Structure 1
Amino acid sequence: MALTDEAMAKIKAMIVAGELAPGSRLPKEDVLARQLGLSRNSLREAVRALTAMRILVSRQGDGTYVSSLEPHLLLETLSFAADVSQGRAALQLLQVRRLLEPQATGLAAALLRPHDLKELRDILDRCRSAATVEDFVAHDIAFHLRIAEAVGNPVLSMLLQVLSTRTQRVRIVRGSRIRDALDSAHQDHEDILRALQTRDALLAVSAATVHITAVEQWLATSRVDDPLRPIDG
């Protein structure tokens, strides 16, 4: 095990054991290095890496602290994996999304209030008038996120965002026959909203599953293109 990895493992072990609680300040560098039997250089590298993972947070002039360790905060660091995923890896991420998002959509059917449904209707209206793929994707993300948020589980909401990021969605749509892909997505969105409006959880699950399966199919035959080109370009 590399020295930096060893240092990271030891700090994480302290957190797991409760020796460093969420929000607590790390001991001074020399004290902690001596306590863990590490060099100060190895400790510094470990702290940098754990800060990038959102496990630790650096406060200018005040030291380094353990973060809140909220699961949705830690999941944010995984979004880069979705951004850069290609081929089989990207498909695997979408497969996990297909396992989770339809169930969340079904749960939302009983939880969305009238003003929530109106907001979803407004999002879809803006989605249809999108001039670029970027605009379409922004509204698409807002639509699905608003549904997931109704479940009231921030971990679920963040995980679904991680599984299908803005960058990934732009790549998928751009790699498809754009107009056909968008027409299909608009129809899928309408089917999902109709199921939510009628409080039909099973239909909502089915509509969301069909939609995400179509996205998987687009990805399977995708090619990278200019994400800022007009939709009809």
Structure 2
Amino acid sequence: MNSKIKIIIADDHAIIRAGLSMLINEEEDMEVIATASDGKEAFERALELKPDVVIMDLNMPPGEDGLSATVRLKKAAPHVEILVLTMNEDQEYLFRFLEAGASGYILKNSQEAELIGAIRIVSNREAYLSPQAAKMIIQKFMHPSTALPKDTVLMKELSIRENEVVPLIAKGFSNKEIADLLYVSIKTVEAHKSKIMEKLQLRTRAELVSYAIKNGYLDS
């Protein structure tokens, strides 16, 4: 008899973790071996339990988000497959996750059978994209951006403190958590974030996460 597909579910909502666990455990070839409420916990449980698949949510406030956790996990345990399960129909996040090494991308409004099928596909080291995600990729190639990549833009040098703030933002820490860690006020953190975005010519947090990945802020 073949062994079951071992799965970890990472989502900040307890009711979603419980519902997905019940759904998945009804399948004879699958078993949820753990759940996690944020990316940090998912990373730690995955290293400990060595699952076949981690079902990863995107936003898991106030803890580490799914994108930065995916980056860290694929570096530390490349054999673990990541299936992104999110509410976000966002082309930018889709490509960030694929760049980070995720094997699948599916929306939370998908049918139960689609999720089960996606788990089986990625567990076999194949890629799965929901129809919505596939459409976003097609649109990307049909309408490529003419803008220069961020890496070609001359970046201003960040201060020592700003370099400390970048990885904390990228890992999903809140302003209050960053303030507590650095022993500064929340207003100071907000000022640092504003300066960082201005200096790096970034507009969104997803772009900042991408910058942090490319420049080694999340390696440690």
Instruction: Name the TM tier (shorter chain).
Output: under 0.3
TM-score (norm 1): 0.23
User: When you count strand as a share of all residues, which structure comes out higher?
Assistant: 2
Larger helix percent: 1
| Relative contact order, higher structure (CA 8 A, sep 6+) | 1
Larger radius of gyration: 1
